[in-house]
């Protein structure tokens, strides 16, 4: 399969590198990372020990592929979609954080858009080097839910490259469950500067669970069946399974970059307001991270 991975950050590079063991892959990202990958190849370490040689470019325009995997930060989705609209793709798959990315992609791309979740841990260590800090799973499916033969084909392509992937019919619920997990883990680890495992007990665990249950409450207002208990179980499962990982938001804070707070806790608050629901934990976490961003030039 011919695959473009648009957004060669930590997760995009890891997925693209693993896919390159079986498929023809082009990574789209920024220098100096993509230049090193183009000239010397990509080294994957941590849970894997592989060197692969995908294509790599900073120019994402006028590309053609069977599948484009979109892995940019949520605040870059519209710009990415506009760039990709000059190309030709049979399908697109978002593996981004937040909700609503698929809607933006559908506005620009003349192909079916799938939604996805990925629980692999990834960290860019240097240009041309990515660490898999924890193996996980990928789910793909129609953004609106239901059976999707296209999702079956994409899952098979990922599986062939050794990425454990399942096509699912309940993607809306899974996206909101992922949002609940991110709402609880990302801002707390970023503000506290701790690995995910630090949230396994005590006051930070209770805070993370409250953020998750608030998110589940908003999901139900959006007609998504996500019970509080399932959201809490999911956040505890991810904390336990990724105890040694730094969340993506924690990595952004360490690097002095803009975070995805608007698409995670901010999105929960925005949807809560639309339904007249209070979400004080998410509102507080969003305000604190935004304050850090303003102080550090992220806004």
Report, in this order, helix, strand and coil percent for the chain, each rounded to 5. 50, 20, 30
Pairwise CA distance, residues 83 & 73, whole Å = 15
Angle, CA 143 vertex, CA 141 and CA 218 arms, to 5°: 120
Question: Strand 113-118 to strand 88-94: parallel, antiparallel, or no bridges (unpaired)?
Answer: parallel
Query: Catalytic residues, which ones?
Result: 178
| Buried residues in 221-256 as b, exposed as e (16+ CB within 10 A) | eeebebebeebbebbbebbebbeebbbbbbbbbeee
Sheet-wide strand order for 2-6: 55-57, 24-28, 2-6, 64-70, 88-94, 113-118, 138-142, 165-167
């Amino acid at each position: 399969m011919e695959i473009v991975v648009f957004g060669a950050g930590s997760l995009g590079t890891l997925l693209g590198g693993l896919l390159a063991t079986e498929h023809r892959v082009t990574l789209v990202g920024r220098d100096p990372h993509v230049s090193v990958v183009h000239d010397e190849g990509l080294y994957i370490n941590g849970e894997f020990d592989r060197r692969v040689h995908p294509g790599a470019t900073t120019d994402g325009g006028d590309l053609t592929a069977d599948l484009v995997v979109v892995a940019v930060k949520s605040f870059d989705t519209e710009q990415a979609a506009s760039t990709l609209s000059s190309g030709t793709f049979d399908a697109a798959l978002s593996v981004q954080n937040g909700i609503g990315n698929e809607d933006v992609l559908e506005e620009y791309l003349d192909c079916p858009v799938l939604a996805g979740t990925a629980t692999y841990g990834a960290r860019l260590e240097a240009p041309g080097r990515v660490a898999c800090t924890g193996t996980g799973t990928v789910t793909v499916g129609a953004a609106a839910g239901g059976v999707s033969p296209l999702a079956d084909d994409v899952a098979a392509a990922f599986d062939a490259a050794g990425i454990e992937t399942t096509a699912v019919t309940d993607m809306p619920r899974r996206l909101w469950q992922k949002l609940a997990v991110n709402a609880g883990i990302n801002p707390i680890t970023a503000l506290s500067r701790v690995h995910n495992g630090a949230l396994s007990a005590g006051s930070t665990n209770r805070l993370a669970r409250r953020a998750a249950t608030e998110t589940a409450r908003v999901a139900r207002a959006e007609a998504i069946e996500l019970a509080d208990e399932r959201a809490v179980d999911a956040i505890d499962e991810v904390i336990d399974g990724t105890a040694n990982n730094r969340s993506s938001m924690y990595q952004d804070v360490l690097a002095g970059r803009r975070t995805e707070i608007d698409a995670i806790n901010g999105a929960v608050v925005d949807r809560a307001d639309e339904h007249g629901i209070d979400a004080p934990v998410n509102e507080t976490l969003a305000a604190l991270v935004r304050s850090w961003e303003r102080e550090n030039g992220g806004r």
